[in-house]
Structure 1
């Protein structure tokens, strides 16, 4: 073993142990003045935004199943003939007429009897009043990512007060402990407020309750009933009940239990008693001491969170409050903020997506409104997928489960849209869905004419299998992959030139190619890439589960007839089948780069010409955009092996978000949440994924270590990132050169590692053998694309010189390398 490496690794580990408890915190020296300064807590089911007020604390609450509306799909009847007519108009080149018919058949506003999806809604806010608390000193509030707790502390009139809160991952409720360092000093009142209409407030068995129903929207009656309450457990002092308020006087300590239940059982069943559910959760929790409850919560949380550690060093900036660090990030070197931001994304995924619950929506589980931006639904033409990009590589595979569960539902409800709208087998979904698993067109014939939502979502099933290698999982979800393949097998039609099979009508999400918002088209590049993946995933899965040989052959024949990717007149990767791209197009969606990331169809090593075309497309679109768009760009530039440009996008994103609550300026709010603006959570997840992609990539037949690491972060260590094939990577680097590497094999099989030629790997004193030919590990199989059509030759993409190494691994064994 290399002694220098051992010393270096030991020093880094000691530094991490010191810094992890000290620095993985969001901290502030004043209370939040608005929602974008409040701090998020969540256990997957219950979300809380904590303001940290002194005289009045607001804790805004959500429960994951409080949505407007009721069960029911939104698939229109009698639209197949319109679909066929739009398709024919596109064949005839009458694009504007095709768009006009699409707009007429699917109007921008939901027609009578249909809806365009229901909004996710707040429960309300718990208000804690401390009327005598004025002029605090030594104020501090923080969110500790290591423990998933938030604290507020300050001093008033010589008394030190502290509030500690967490949404328990074990007990499924919110717990708040209020303490003071002088006896009988806690006096406060408890109230509810909620924007819902027709709510009920009162006292029941010593608890202050709030009951209500989700809203009625687009004539879809609100039927989600909810019931929540706060119960005070008081040590010392007096408790008084006043109709719709609880008052506490002269207490030594107060512990508040906040429990919420709804009648939601699943997307078609609202048969649960919400009061009984909330009460059952509370009764179970109150028999456990606060200390024990906190200990159990932290233990369960850390089982997830502590799997990955990232240390990029630290400096004096880390001693400043988080809002100041965001403001100064562009001009003051702050490597620890990058690590904090990465881990904050993992914290948000743990907090908003737990097994057995709902997937993280457009705002995770945090929303203060009845009618939030974009309804806070599941926007599945990028945003929902982006939420889950960090799940596998970030060692949070379990957090993926709610998305898989939703896919099972959509594979049922999506049969209706496939059958009614397209006369096709299988299932599909368009660009939005919600709690009720709608699959029809949403927002009209421009934005909504995109029958590809299921195609993209289904990728997560296959990717999960590549990371975990669980054949039983693949068998359980095989029907989802098969149903998606069946739909496109039936829907594909000849493109206007008659050369290829394409999806028509569709769009390249939310972009247009002619003035006047003409976007409906045939054979968009993204659609072709998505169908390519759907077909290949099904083919490979059918071999694994040994099923559907005849169907597999049919899918193979259609796969061979898909269009190739094309390089257009500007040297760009074409977005449409025809060369219609504009150099001055700055649209936030760059959907045709799906093939670069999250798919792996475009590789600098396998096809430098396509990589250069993708790079040109990125350059033409520019950097500054919405938060989620910039998050996607971090991943794209990482795939293009440009760590400096990826880091530049992270800097753009870690700039203060504008105060305006609309636009496409991106940025980050003081609470580290992403701005579109307004708030969308996908940008956080996209940047976390992007940082992981800068550290390690495994899509291209091998594991590439430090493929796109920036010059400005020369030293660091990461532990626990996961690659396809189930390999867990621990590595350290200095001056951007790898200095230590440990690989844990959870599945066994060949481990192929790609490294720059500056480094060589040794195991037990012997150099690792160089690799040749195809990687024999099936989890690293690469789907070969067609040769692209190139109209304009680009300058050559600079592919770095690298070396491939092979190591045959045994399941459960750890391999520690010397790097020279």
Structure 2
């Protein structure tokens, strides 16, 4: 009781002394009072390439290790020969209405079980573990384990027999090694053994001299491919005082005052078709370079590099006494407790994970980022591109981490090469394509057979990230670099679009609405709503890019003709946005994928102001599906409800997501593990990234011709501040709000041009430059509206209308690199 009273007094004083809109600082530390008992309680560390999961044991410490290029298998695509006739036949059957027969044909041509002649993608694999054994430390007291995501540094501390022990851990962004510093309050108290292990089958463990433990191995085989990634892990302790001895595979530290461990790791991977690198030389070089630096220099350089990215955005939603509790307890109590700071922590944790798992020059974040403790992880921990990989990068632009998008763009360049094979062999088409999965080797063929895998739209969705990065940055050099990727993706769809004999629309067939069925056991279809929306965006992006770069006029004329023949969106008999070309939706369908709402988010094809009936139909579709689902699905739903301007429902989804994940390792329950990682279950990282993007979407939206501030603010967040969020056209936004309305606004314009903002009615802001009432279309080309085809409505649809908060739009003429500040006008 006394602690709570002191906390409340401090909180009251902080709010009083910093003024009416200043909030006490949100704490950005994950805290625990016991070691991890399983992987879902361990804490993630990463520098984009090297990952570690920290357990924090006192007697036995474990750090599970990953390196981003350690995958099973070897170079090579997975496109089978002689299957194009089956795909053509399936299209004919679909157009004739023989849906079950078409599905059966595709399953025969592409069985769910991996055919001998192909593969369904290689798994991302664990490297192994670093173990430290501290004899007699099992009776420790005053235990604390923390991860400070404002610095990307973790600590473990405890007391034992009158001695205070402390460990500090980080994966260096500057020196590309794992660093651990162990210290104690009395000299000579650090005695422990150190070793490396791995579940990989081809492993050798040795020591170099008395100072370095080395583990080398080869990645595992999978399906019909032999593992050929060679890897090495080196670890060297630096001692103050004490002695260091070794056996064949173990290092022993005795009676040291302080120990700094440096761990390096590397593989022979150069790129998806070249594995001629030297893992030993790479690991040794990284280690030696780091050993030549003082610990403080390693730590300070790492923190400075990390903060240069992380500190671009801050979010404060208020604090409460819950912040004093351990993070796992806060998650358990979130549904009933007032804990706005946990939402801010979760938002920033998503940014921390993206910084830690996706750095320029490396690989994109997988289904589990860079953290995986298995040789055969769930879904292979590869790249599932019918939602999950894209969701990983939703926070990149809006939360000011644009350069972390680069690994995804680099992968797209690879896929635009390997995808020519699948386009030609499977569809007799030019350009490039891929399906719903890829891996380190950039496979582009069908994965998981002719049911889940018969979706030739992966490239269409991934290329949206190229256009998204361009409109946020205005970087025409970047657009020119990736223009051919866009163009050749467009060329593929020009070649494969076929005329539906009933409607005469141009449609993609065969395809499917990801992982959903409209008849028992039948997913295969033609002209699904998501496909139509994706092709619409692909064509529009290519048209716009070609005009900006003044290229390919004749080609773009062809694209524009095909664009006009795409199916429009349709509203069905349940007043729902149809998922398929035909009105097959069921009101009791609770499927995790709601792919036809792609047009609502992340795309920008549905507007509450320009398409109110479509907007209502999308809301109905989302309502019918319900709330609780897999973690990633609930993360997507936060974004959808934000786009629907329903802050209360979006906040409910955040509460659903920030509930304890079940112990079950499979299912569709969602939730959050004690370490704040997202549960499908099991762990998938996309739910973390989706929820971070969703929280940003509740605060700022910039898809509908303007920058809408606080479009979906729940009553629980009536007061707060955010700094550093980005909007297209090079704008950065800081804002404070009170009583649900913006009270202070700072706009930084990187490119100049018109800045149109939408505010709640009754918001009165003044500054050195006037905010003028908006007139006509926004003159800023980064906010150009793309007109969709006239929707088609079922005669059975009945519309009730959707109530929206009243808003007012203003224009601000900005100059490049200028800053504009506005404050609430005194009434």
Instruction: Give me the TM-score of the superposition, normalised by structure 1.
Output: 0.98
Counterpart for residue 709 of structure 1: 713
Deviations 1:426-454 (A, max 9, x none): 10010000000000000000100000000
User: Which residue of 303, 309, 318 corresponds with 1:304?
Assistant: 309
Deviations 1:238-288 (A, max 9, x none): 111011111110000000010001000000000110010001111111111
- The CA distance in 1 between the partners of 2:483 and 2:50, in whole Å, is 31
Counterpart for residue 3 of structure 1: none
Counterpart for residue 112 of structure 1: 116
Give 3-state SS (helix, strand or coil) of 2:139's partner.
Answer: coil
Counterpart for residue 4 of structure 1: none
Q: Write out aligned runs for 1:319-398 (5 A).
A: 319-398=324-403
Deviation at 1:605, TM superposition (A): 1.3
Asked if 1 retains the 8 angstrom alpha-carbon contact of 2:43 and 2:54, the reply is yes
Asked if 2 retains the 8 angstrom alpha-carbon contact of 1:62 and 1:366, the reply is yes
Residue 438 of structure 2 is aligned to residue 425 of structure 1: no
Asked if 1 retains the 8 angstrom alpha-carbon contact of 2:21 and 2:737, the reply is no
- The CA distance in 1 between the partners of 2:17 and 2:393, in whole Å, is 31
Deviation at 1:110, TM superposition (A): 1.3
Deviation at 1:761, TM superposition (A): 2.9
Residue 642 of structure 2 is aligned to residue 638 of structure 1: yes
Residue 565 of structure 2 is aligned to residue 561 of structure 1: yes
1:561/1:9 Cα in 2 relative to 1: closer, same or farther (>3 Å)? farther
Q: Report the aligned-residue RMSD.
A: 1.2
Q: Write out aligned runs for 1:207-356 (5 A).
A: 207-356=212-361
Asked if 1 retains the 8 angstrom alpha-carbon contact of 2:744 and 2:765, the reply is no
User: Which residue of 391, 407, 410 corresponds with 2:412?
Assistant: 407
Deviation at 1:799, TM superposition (A): 3.1
- The CA distance in 2 between the partners of 1:63 and 1:13, in whole Å, is 44
- The CA distance in 1 between the partners of 2:816 and 2:802, in whole Å, is 38
Asked if 2 retains the 8 angstrom alpha-carbon contact of 1:107 and 1:445, the reply is yes
Counterpart for residue 77 of structure 2: 73
Asked if 1 retains the 8 angstrom alpha-carbon contact of 2:21 and 2:736, the reply is no
Give 3-state SS (helix, strand or coil) of 1:401's partner.
Answer: helix
User: Which residue of 552, 555, 559 corresponds with 1:551?
Assistant: 555
Counterpart for residue 85 of structure 1: 89
Q: Write out aligned runs for 1:108-257 (5 A).
A: 108-205=112-209, 206-257=211-262
Deviation at 1:298, TM superposition (A): 0.2
Counterpart for residue 95 of structure 1: 99
- The CA distance in 2 between the partners of 1:134 and 1:433, in whole Å, is 44
Deviations 1:516-575 (A, max 9, x none): x10100000000000000000000000111100000000000000000000000010000
Q: Write out aligned runs for 1:449-464 (5 A).
A: 449-464=454-469
Asked if 1 retains the 8 angstrom alpha-carbon contact of 2:158 and 2:164, the reply is yes
User: Which residue of 714, 717, 739 corresponds with 2:743?
Assistant: 739
1:148/1:11 Cα in 2 relative to 1: closer, same or farther (>3 Å)? farther
Counterpart for residue 755 of structure 1: 759
Counterpart for residue 61 of structure 1: 65
Counterpart for residue 11 of structure 2: none
- The CA distance in 1 between the partners of 2:655 and 2:536, in whole Å, is 34
Uncovered stretches (5+) of structure 2, i.e. residues with no partner:
1-14
- The CA distance in 2 between the partners of 1:605 and 1:207, in whole Å, is 65
Q: Write out aligned runs for 1:459-538 (5 A).
A: 459-515=464-520, 517-538=521-542
Counterpart for residue 784 of structure 1: 787
- The CA distance in 2 between the partners of 1:281 and 1:774, in whole Å, is 54
- The CA distance in 1 between the partners of 2:601 and 2:501, in whole Å, is 28
Residue 696 of structure 2 is aligned to residue 692 of structure 1: yes
Asked if 2 retains the 8 angstrom alpha-carbon contact of 1:230 and 1:257, the reply is yes
- The CA distance in 2 between the partners of 1:109 and 1:776, in whole Å, is 54
Asked if 2 retains the 8 angstrom alpha-carbon contact of 1:134 and 1:156, the reply is no
- The CA distance in 1 between the partners of 2:538 and 2:45, in whole Å, is 36
1:668/1:342 Cα in 2 relative to 1: closer, same or farther (>3 Å)? same
Deviation at 1:757, TM superposition (A): 1.0
Q: Write out aligned runs for 1:1-40 (5 A).
A: 11=19, 15=23, 19-20=25-26, 23-40=27-44
- The CA distance in 2 between the partners of 1:134 and 1:567, in whole Å, is 63
Counterpart for residue 3 of structure 2: none
Asked if 2 retains the 8 angstrom alpha-carbon contact of 1:410 and 1:437, the reply is yes
Residue 778 of structure 2 is aligned to residue 769 of structure 1: no
Deviation at 1:14, TM superposition (A): 6.6
Give 3-state SS (helix, strand or coil) of 1:208's partner.
Answer: strand
- The CA distance in 1 between the partners of 2:19 and 2:492, in whole Å, is 55
Deviations 1:722-760 (A, max 9, x none): 001111000001111111101000111100001121213
Asked if 2 retains the 8 angstrom alpha-carbon contact of 1:602 and 1:610, the reply is yes
- The CA distance in 2 between the partners of 1:194 and 1:608, in whole Å, is 57
- The CA distance in 1 between the partners of 2:117 and 2:311, in whole Å, is 49
Asked if 2 retains the 8 angstrom alpha-carbon contact of 1:130 and 1:187, the reply is yes
Deviation at 1:198, TM superposition (A): 1.9
- The CA distance in 1 between the partners of 2:347 and 2:465, in whole Å, is 21
User: Which residue of 804, 809, 817 corresponds with 1:812?
Assistant: 817
Deviations 1:599-658 (A, max 9, x none): 010111111100100000011000000000000000000000000000000000000000
Give 3-state SS (helix, strand or coil) of 1:212's partner.
Answer: strand
Give 3-state SS (helix, strand or coil) of 2:207's partner.
Answer: strand
1:8/1:819 Cα in 2 relative to 1: closer, same or farther (>3 Å)? farther
Counterpart for residue 5 of structure 2: none
- The CA distance in 2 between the partners of 1:628 and 1:544, in whole Å, is 35
Uncovered stretches (5+) of structure 1, i.e. residues with no partner:
1-6
1:13/1:24 Cα in 2 relative to 1: closer, same or farther (>3 Å)? farther
Give 3-state SS (helix, strand or coil) of 2:708's partner.
Answer: strand
Residue 677 of structure 2 is aligned to residue 657 of structure 1: no
Asked if 1 retains the 8 angstrom alpha-carbon contact of 2:234 and 2:287, the reply is no
1:13/1:796 Cα in 2 relative to 1: closer, same or farther (>3 Å)? closer
Deviations 1:783-802 (A, max 9, x none): 11011101113211223321
- The CA distance in 2 between the partners of 1:12 and 1:39, in whole Å, is 37
Deviations 1:678-711 (A, max 9, x none): 0000000000000000000001100000000101
- The CA distance in 2 between the partners of 1:91 and 1:14, in whole Å, is 62
Asked if 1 retains the 8 angstrom alpha-carbon contact of 2:268 and 2:278, the reply is yes
Deviation at 1:403, TM superposition (A): 0.3
Deviations 1:461-487 (A, max 9, x none): 000000000000000000110011000
Deviation at 1:15, TM superposition (A): 4.4
Instruction: Give me the TM-score of the superposition, normalised by structure 2.
Output: 0.97
Deviation at 1:200, TM superposition (A): 0.3
Asked if 1 retains the 8 angstrom alpha-carbon contact of 2:80 and 2:117, the reply is no
Instruction: Give the count of matched residue pairs.
Output: 808
Asked if 1 retains the 8 angstrom alpha-carbon contact of 2:392 and 2:685, the reply is yes
- The CA distance in 2 between the partners of 1:12 and 1:622, in whole Å, is 39
Deviation at 1:135, TM superposition (A): 1.2
Deviation at 1:11, TM superposition (A): 4.0
Asked if 2 retains the 8 angstrom alpha-carbon contact of 1:90 and 1:496, the reply is no
Asked if 2 retains the 8 angstrom alpha-carbon contact of 1:605 and 1:799, the reply is no
Asked if 1 retains the 8 angstrom alpha-carbon contact of 2:41 and 2:673, the reply is yes
Deviation at 1:30, TM superposition (A): 0.5
Deviation at 1:818, TM superposition (A): 2.2
